[in-house]
A and B are shown apart, each in its own frame.
Chain A
């Protein structure tokens, strides 16, 4: 039954990101389904979507952040991922938990950046020997760096926020602007309630009166 929120389907990743959407679906879709429906919070059998609280700061980042709900869904995947059930069981054994969370966060970011920023991802490549990726959004004139990160379970909301600010700082260390995305797959709510939360925030170096980027000023769009 619909709860009235827009549903973003993982099955649509190939349409959303024509250059690499198939790869996003096959590689990062299953880890996202695990984190949204099996671990850390298992959903009842047959439920094919999960509500996510989204915190979005649109480019160019002058406005304040918007908070709203989206559903992320994984129905209609039998044609593109016929062995999905088997794959979900395998992934929990063959991929370490931290890497799985990072991969899941990339899939969530891919849905949100398309829905909210009309962004098309151009590259997602693992770099180094850890769970780091180089992710780039295709822009009208140039591509922008996106830092995507996942947290399996947070004890407090401040964990996600501090990761977000860390990722923004990484983006802006050497770029004039870009995006940071942090998805937390189990956040504490009221009482025993838990929820999934995702930040997608644009960030840019501040512009001084002369119209130049000020290297030492505070980050525009910094979350508090």
Chain B
């Protein structure tokens, strides 16, 4: 079995790419919006007749929701994915993804990450603060996210980056 043609016009790729660029710049609201758009474009293909394709498109759409911080929407789609019906190329990626989605869709997720950030701030572990923000960019408001990044960069002596954020 091989992968289906995922898209003819590249619209989902274009939307996901715009989201990825926004996320890299710290513009999380725009990233969320464009990943959501990519997810919706892919979700329109779930009605495809081949079973494995249906589940692939669910997985792909859930991935875009996840990357956009829309974890509950991702979870909703994940629950309808049957792992055994996914194409072999991507099946191995699903269990970890489902686990990550469940963890981030949990009500305690944001509180837990904020507490971890606070602990890192208290201990002045600046590199780890930046890594934590890379992993969980949607937990904070964009202004606070930018401030924390600037603060950590300044403490690390990375003044050009501190000034940019």
* Residues of A participating in the B interface, judged by any CB pair closer than 8 Å: 19-20, 22-24, 26-27, 30, 86-87, 89-96, 122-130, 132, 134, 136, 142-143, 145, 170, 173-176
Contacts and interface: CB of A to CB of B under 8 A. Distances in A.
- Interface size class on chain B is 35 or more
B144 interface: no
Contacts of A30: 24
A174 B164 contact: no
Nearest to B17: A23
Interface in B21-71: 21, 23-26, 38, 42, 59-60, 63-64, 66-67
A120 B144 CA distance: 41
Contacts of B26: 90, 94
A27 B20 contact: yes
B2 A174 contact: yes
Contacts of A89: 160-161, 164
B130 interface: yes
A19 to B, nearest CB: 4
B89 A174 contact: yes
A19 B5 CA distance: 14
A19 B38 CA distance: 15
Interface string B74-117: 00000000000001111001101100110000000000000000
